[in-house]
Structure 1
Amino acid sequence: MKRIVILVSGDGSNFQAILNSCKKKEIFGRIVAVVSDNCQAFAIERARVAHISTHVLVPAPLHKEEHIFNQELMQVVDLYSPDLVILAGYMRILNADIVASYSGRILNIHPSLLPKYPGLYTHRKAIQNSDAQHGASVHFVTDKIDEGPVIVQARVPVFHNDSEYTLSMRVKEQEHSIYPLAVKWFTEGRLKMHNNAAWLDGYRLPQSGYIDVIERSL
């Protein structure tokens, strides 16, 4: 059983989706800890209900204290000796030391079809640019923000009357499918990062990842 640590900042719906898959034995792993930078994150309550160890590390307001926060975060993560670190709505950038220490063992999900729209406000950008499709990408985390090798993507249509909220909900539904899938592959030993590329079952995945799912329902 692979040991999994999840970093969260908010509601934790992707954490819940992964937890549900673990409970169903679809993922060959166990979530051993949940760490948050937000003491009011609902994800913490989800973890406590599931009897998972929780840690809340709130960064100091001064920028000069950032290195202290990063040291504390790494100490907490190291405490659990994880095989995999998952970012599930974690809104802070991991520093270089953590990324290097867990290279090839950190996954993130981003609400866009990477490499399109790295960063914030992805749903807004998709609507403003009249995109026909939008979606989400699971990728390995590297020292370049939202530029790690893509593992799997899901695409959804963008409708003419979409708001940021309606589009985000359609994307979120797909996130709850593809994130547990990528975690499953990793815990089975099928998924690896090598030469800055994602590999599944010994085959190098294309830039857009393994799956191109289109959600057709309204």
Structure 2
Amino acid sequence: MKRRVAILISGRGSNMAALIEAAKAADFPAEIVAVISNRADAAGLEKAAASGIATIVIESKPFGKDRAGFEKVLQAALDRHGIELICLGGFMRLFTAEFTRAWYGRMLNIHPSLLPSFPGLDPHGQALRAGVKLSGATVHFVIPETDAGPIVMQGAVTVADDDTAETLAARVITIEHRIYPEALRLLASGRLKLEGDLCKTVGSGATDDTLIAPAP
């Protein structure tokens, strides 16, 4: 039985599109049944509708700072669609601790850095200013703290000396589109196990794959 997933977006939904595409595979263990946006003008809504997925708009602006009020309406929508798992795809609204605790272990987010490095805003600029040679993206479980929570999967790219935040972002997003569907696959198939603050993957082991930068 495929797990029922909702994707929450606020904008163009590029990671949403990658998840929808991956879920079309017959052997994918999850189905995207709803895309929910807190903005009526989110471009991703049109993409989702074109794929035959139910779209829901819950405007967050009228709620102001009343996060709990917004989440009550959101939870009702999730309940109506029988949602079991949530993927955040550029969802630009913070949750209350109560909501994240209620969905702990069932809600994923993706961040364009190798967490715990460079959380928050402008991760690519942060990476360039730090002079790192590798950057990437991280899929993690959502907890009350922003860009924290047990790490599920990471992917890395090399950083060039002449990179800008824009050129680095363009490479990292290709990694995002690869690892987010795979992280959802692991979660939906029951291969992830939470042990305290750590996420372990059943059946995984070390490999000889390495990424060295700059190349020797």
Q: TM-score, normalised by structure 1?
A: 0.88
**How far is the alpha carbon of 1:214 from its aligned partner?**
4.5
User: Match of 2:200?
Assistant: 199
| 49 and 165 in structure 1: CA distance in 2 versus 1, 3 angstrom threshold | same
Root-mean-square deviation (CA, aligned residues, Å) is 2.4
Q: Which runs of 5+ in 2 are unaligned?
A: none
Preserved contact between residue 26 and residue 184 of structure 1 (Cα < 8 Å): no
**How far is the alpha carbon of 1:46 from its aligned partner?**
1.0
Q: Tell me, in whole angstroms, the C-alpha distance in 2 between the residues paired with 1:46 and 1:126.
A: 31
Preserved contact between residue 63 and residue 69 of structure 2 (Cα < 8 Å): no
Q: Tell me, in whole angstroms, the C-alpha distance in 1 between the residues paired with 2:75 and 2:146.
A: 18
Preserved contact between residue 35 and residue 56 of structure 2 (Cα < 8 Å): yes
Preserved contact between residue 27 and residue 183 of structure 1 (Cα < 8 Å): no
**How far is the alpha carbon of 1:211 from its aligned partner?**
11
Q: Which runs of 4+ in 1 moved over 6 A?
A: 210-213
User: Match of 1:104?
Assistant: 105
Q: Which amino acid aligns with 1:74?
A: Q
**How far is the alpha carbon of 1:61 from its aligned partner?**
5.4
Q: Which runs of 5+ in 1 are unaligned?
A: none
Aligned length: 212
1:123-176: CA deviation from partner (whole Å, max 9, x where unpaired):
111112222111100111112221101111111111111111111010000011
| 108 and 215 in structure 1: CA distance in 2 versus 1, 3 angstrom threshold | farther
| 184 and 215 in structure 1: CA distance in 2 versus 1, 3 angstrom threshold | farther
SS in 2 for 1:113: coil
**How far is the alpha carbon of 1:189 from its aligned partner?**
1.2
**How far is the alpha carbon of 1:22 from its aligned partner?**
0.8
SS in 2 for 1:107: strand
Q: Tell me, in whole angstroms, the C-alpha distance in 1 between the residues paired with 2:44 and 2:160.
A: 30
Q: Greater CA deviation, 57-66 or 109-118?
A: 57-66
Q: Tell me, in whole angstroms, the C-alpha distance in 2 between the residues paired with 1:115 and 1:211.
A: 23
User: Match of 2:90?
Assistant: 89
User: Match of 1:167?
Assistant: 168
